[in-house]
Structure 1
Amino acid sequence: MPSKPITFILAALLLSPAIVMAKTQADQNSVPETLGFVEWVVLEETGLRLKARLDTGAKTSSLHAVNVEPFRKGEEEWVSFQLPLADHKDQDDANGAEVDEVILEFNLPVERTVKIKRKGASSQNRYVVNMEFCIAGTSHTTEFSLTDRSKFSYPALLGRRFMSDDNILIDSSDSFLAEKECEHKSLSELADKYVD
């Protein structure tokens, strides 16, 4: 009878260094990346680069969108929306391109809808879509709620869900800390591509 408990204890002792080593290796692989409170992001589908505020006060990320319209595609609920290039003239690479008339159009499946409480205003229902984007040289996918952000300083906002899923820390005292850049198209290239 005593041999079984001894065998069990011996097996546990032999396995524990491997468990500790695996945990240490996982901890080393998951060193969080520190980014500034504002960084460049690139929408992968189009190559559009825009500024995003990284906001620990928001749970869900948000993207500037106008003319948001739901529609059905088979049994699924989808949403169409537009992103005008004229709203993103903070880039210095427009080279005088006429971007005022260029509007990027998207059609994506709806992941869910959210009710957003707004300070000093009524609550707002928003459609949420999954989108691929690049930040700090790395591709990510996260949920974005769609809303008109033309009155805000930044067309995109990245929230806690993205930060926790992708192990991101924010330095709220600095901006543009990303060590790597994402490939993107200039506004003039986008204007050439989307203007007839």
Structure 2
Amino acid sequence: MNTSKNQSLPLIGWREYLALPTLGVTKIKAKIDTGAKTSALHAFNVKIVEKDNQNIVEFEIHPIQKDNQTSIFTTAPLLEYRTVKNSGGIAETRPVIETKIILGNISWAIALTLTNRDSMGFRMLLGRDAVKNRFLVDTGNSFLHHSIT
């Protein structure tokens, strides 16, 4: 039997509800995507503005799947631009922000790329960099953490 230190990590399902409190998102359904290195958040009307000698990203989020009416306007400091391959394998250069995330009773900071995910099934992907050394993913289950209301 192979024993690992990772066996003490909490389990999450292949999709979970989480919160992004610094962005004003109290609940968003995310797909846990270990095939994606970086996490991605649906964003539109993305603008880079300069405030106090710092680049700030202004953007809107549709936090509810299949709902294009409910939107949240928010801002975050721009960390960098990162080139990532989208689901079609095409390279895109996206703005990257860092934000606090809450999944169940665990909170930590992650990097998020911003991209338009209107045509995708999930408004957010939680990539492997965000879950590495924090969780084990149970691909046969969903919504194992229900503490977000």
State if a TM-score over 0.5 links the two structures. yes
* Secondary structure, counterpart of 1:88 in structure 2: coil
Other-structure match for 1:67:
45
Instruction: Tell me which structure has the larger Cα radius of gyration.
Output: 1
| Segment drifting more, 65-74 vs 30-39 | 30-39
Aligned counterpart in structure 2 of residue 37 of structure 1, from 14, 28, 35 = 14
Structure 2 residue identity aligned to 1:48: T
Q: Is 1:51 paired with 2:19?
A: no
SS at 2:8 equivalent: coil
Deviations 1:122-153 (A, max 9, x none): 42110010111211122221011001111111
Query: Percent identity between the aligned chains?
Result: 28
1:118 aligns with 2:86: yes
CA displacement 1:91-130 (0-9 Å, x = unmatched): xxxxxxxx83x42111111111111123646421100101
Q: Per the alignment, in what secondary structure is the counterpart of residue 177 of structure 1? A: coil
**Partner Cα distance (1:89, 1:118) in 2:** 20
Per residue, is there more strand in 1 or in 2? 2
Q: Which runs of 5+ in 2 are unaligned?
A: none
What SS class does the counterpart of residue 149 from structure 1 fall into? coil
**RMSD of aligned alpha carbons:** 2.3
Structure 1, unmatched stretches of 5+, are 1-26, 91-98, 185-196
Deviation at 1:89, TM superposition (A): 5.4
Alignment size in residue pairs: 144
TM-score under structure 2 length normalisation:
0.84
Q: How does 1:10-25 map to 2 (within 5 A)?
A: none
Matched, 1:174 2:129: no
Alpha-carbon shift at residue 47 of structure 1 (Å): 4.5
Distance 2:35 2:138 in 1: 14
Distance of aligned partners of 1:174 and 1:161 in 2 relative to their CA distance in 1, 3 Å threshold: same
Report the equivalent of 1:79. 57
CA distance in 2, matches of 1:89, 1:122: 24
- Could you say which structure has the higher helix fraction? 1
Aligned amino acid, residue 181 of structure 1: S
- C-alpha distance in 1, partners of 2:95/2:74? 13
* Change beyond 3 A, Cα 1:48–1:174: same
Q: Which range moves more in the overlay, 33-42 or 68-77?
A: 68-77
Q: With structure 1 as the length reference, what TM-score do the two structures score?
A: 0.65
